[in-house]
């Protein structure tokens, strides 16, 4: 039986790929990036392969790979591709599946479909990644509200960055959400570092 977690963010560029790599390692899972937007610096799947040093059979091929680092709906238009959301059903696999979303929750996948609507169709819980820097309270509470308005389960929050105990506490209290842990800034990001952070700052039982 597959247990699936969707790793999404309150914004783009907040360390979501690193969190997804850490969870794939820590939970002995498989990784899937449904839509890859932007290939100039490589893909997120390639980055997770490098960070985790896991074999190829732990990675599910992307549904779509788009050349431009833009919202999927626009990147697809530029590439002359029409995204069919029916092709983005959760893959059949065993064990734990870590699905990395494309940017924030309300990113358009097509001109008619928002990413969060795919999450609702999947019925899988979301692990929401948030910054610890200024502005995170507003961005995170808005994202949690969006999930709840669409009846998408929030499994918990992962904060990325320097410790900001009051912001983390404030978000948790206002939203009544579980904090799964915090990924600090790392000078060296590799398999050993991610396994260490997961062991020290996260609990496997929170993902059971």
Tell me which residues are annotated as active site: 33
**Dist CA 24 CA 127 (whole Å):** 13
**Dist CA 57 CA 71 (whole Å):** 28
Tokens of 82: 């029409």
Q: Which residues contact 86 (CB under 8 A, 6 or more apart)?
A: none
Tokens of 207: 């993902």
């Amino acid at each position: 039986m597959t247990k699936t977690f969707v790793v999404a963010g309150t914004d783009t560029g907040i360390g979501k790929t690193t969190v997804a790599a850490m969870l794939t390692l820590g939970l002995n899972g498989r990784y899937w990036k449904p839509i890859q937007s932007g290939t100039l610096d490589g893909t997120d799947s390639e980055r997770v392969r490098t960070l985790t040093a896991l074999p190829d059979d732990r990675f599910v091929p992307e549904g779509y790979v788009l050349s431009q680092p833009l919202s999927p709906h626009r990147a697809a238009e530029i590439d002359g591709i029409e995204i069919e959301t029916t092709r983005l059903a959760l893959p059949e696999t065993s064990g734990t599946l870590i699905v990395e979303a494309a940017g924030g929750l309300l990113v358009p996948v097509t001109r008619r479909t928002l990413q969060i609507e795919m999450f609702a169709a999947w019925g899988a819980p979301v692990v929401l990644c948030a910054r610890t820097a200024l502005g995170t309270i507003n961005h995170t509470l808005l994202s949690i509200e969006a999930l709840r308005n669409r009846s998408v389960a929030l499994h918990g929050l992962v904060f990325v960055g320097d410790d900001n105990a009051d912001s983390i506490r404030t978000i948790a209290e206002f939203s009544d959400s579980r904090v799964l842990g915090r990924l600090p800034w790392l000078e060296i990001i590799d398999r050993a570092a991610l396994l260490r952070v997961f062991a020290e700052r996260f609990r496997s039982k929170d993902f059971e």
